[in-house]
Amino acid sequence: MVSDLDKVFNRQIRAQKKSAIREVLKLTQRPDIISFAGGLPSPESFPVEHLRKIVCNIFDSEDAYLALQYGTTEGDQRLRELLVERYRQQGLEIDTGNLMITTASQQALDLLPKVFIDPGDKIICGLPSYLGGISAFGFYGAKMEGVKLDNYGMRSDLLEDKLKKMKAFGEKPKFIYTIPDFQNPAGITMPESRRQEIIDIARKHDVLIVEDSPYRELRFEGNPQKMIFAMDNTGQVISLGTFSKILAPGFRIGWVIAHEEIIDKLVTAKQTADLCTSPFVQKIAAKYLETGIFEKHLETIKNMYRDKRDTMLSALKEHMPAGVTWTEPEGGLFLFLTLPEYMDAEKLFMQAIEEKVAFVLGNVFYCDGSGRNTMRLNFSFASREMNIEGVKRLAKAIRKNIK
């Protein structure tokens, strides 16, 4: 071992902290703790038997050797064709040249700053916003500029003000990062009117938009809103998708939809990372889509998660003390809870662990370190009974701190 290993590591890795959520999850592995901390799909949602048959069929076909061989960096051609067709039905004017498969959408979040960010470059994200995105962008030296959300997503008036101020100082962000559908962590959905405002502002200031959409398919109620990409269709928007929440996170399959020139650069960046996403699991995913089972199973998942969301919302209304508020998402996996301003969720966390319930601190989703009186709750993983019991335990911990 070298005498001072810390000097061997580069500046980025020395400055990088471990994922706050991943570290929290280590504390919640005890079987007696009810965890609302992870962004985990329910194991009941995994179509195990269907996938078992598909795997067997692949090994019994000529695709077996292709599935076990290296694949193209862009991804399995058939899977890309199937995804493109689904997105065309949603109004996206794309072909396979606009879509690249990634090793889950987290790789896409890593590739974007790898392609676009030089140390010190700025991007704009929501307050709050997805921690995985914030961490990936920060690792490559990006500086985050936060814009507050309201009940309709990123506030367009504050975004306009932010961009004007940046322009006055000779600055321009590389992109605007937004999660318009069932936002992580807030759970809110951006209506089409707000999406159009964001597009208009981005065009005015000549800035790319990154539309992260891992939960879009998980809508339980209300009307689907058009994708930002579909509303733009000029190449100014980059959209990210994934099978992690609607098929199986273990597959690690995601994708990027973008202008061909952007896809070309992302392919180059991906080639230095993993050469290609597993051809084997891509073949499985493609066959799964071809069978028509996916759409039917998606309805089953949505019904399951709707029930769990309703259960948690009912429990919150029944057991939470006055002064505590929360969002009521129309889909997705999360809701966001806000404590009275004088309370600190970090101090509350260990008390909650003593009550054998866990959550994710809300402040980790704020690039400016605010949000200390907030927390994210996941309702998809725990059973209905555990959702109720977990809320009771959390409410008990919160009551101890109410003034």
Domain CATH for 129 = 3.40.640.10
Provide mean pLDDT across the span 17-24: 63
Kindly state whether residues 148 and 210 are assigned to the same domain: yes
Same domain for 191 and 338, yes or no, is no
Please give the DSSP secondary-structure letter assigned to residue 45. Answer: G
DSSP summary character for residue 74:
T
Average pLDDT over residues 329-335: 98
Are residue 123 and residue 108 in the same domain, yes or no?
A: yes
* pLDDT average, residue stretch 229-245: 97
Give the tokens for residue 352: 């909650």
Q: Tell me if 219 sits within 8 A of 331, measured CB to CB.
A: yes
Q: What is the DSSP string of 363-391?
A: GGG-TTS--TTEEEEE-SSS-HHHHHHHH
In a domain, 92, yes or no: yes
Residue with tokens 């997105």: 87
How many structural domains does the chain have?
2
In a domain? residue 56: no
Q: In this structure, are 191 and 318 located in the same domain?
A: no
Residues 331 and 189 in one domain: no
Q: Convert the pLDDT of each residue in 259-288 to its tens digit.
A: 999 999 999 999 999 999 999 999 999 999
Range with the lowest mean pLDDT among 37-41, 203-207, 208-212? 37-41
Residue 62 lies in a domain: no
Q: Please indicate, yes or no, whether residues 167 and 312 belong to a single structural domain of this protein.
A: no
Say yes or no: 96 and 227 in one domain. Answer: yes
CA 221 remoteness from chain centre: 20
Domain boundary among 291, 309, 327: 291
Give the range of the structural domain holding residue 147, as residue numbers without chain letter: 70-291
Amino acid at 340: P
Q: Note whether 212 and 344 are same-domain residues.
A: no
Cis peptide leading into residue 128 (ω within 30°): yes
* Mean pLDDT in residue range 206-235: 97
Do residues 122 and 141 share a domain?
Answer: yes
Instruction: For residues 83 and 146, state if they share a domain.
Output: yes
At 26 the pLDDT is: 66
Give yes or no: residues 116 and 252 share one domain: yes
Least confident of 24-38, 44-58, 134-148, 249-263: 24-38
Residue 16 lies in a domain: yes
Angle between helices 131-139 and 104-116 (to 10 degrees): 40
In a domain, 130, yes or no: yes
Q: Identify whether 375 is part of a domain.
A: yes
Calculate what percentage of the chain has a pLDDT beyond 90: 91
Question: Which helix (H) or strand (E) element contains residue 130?
Answer: none
Q: What predicted TM-score, i.e. pTM, was given to this entire model?
A: 0.95
For residue 373, name the pLDDT band (cuts at 50, 70, 90): very high
Last residue of a domain, one of 245, 261, 291: 291
In a domain, 303, yes or no: yes
pLDDT at 24: 61
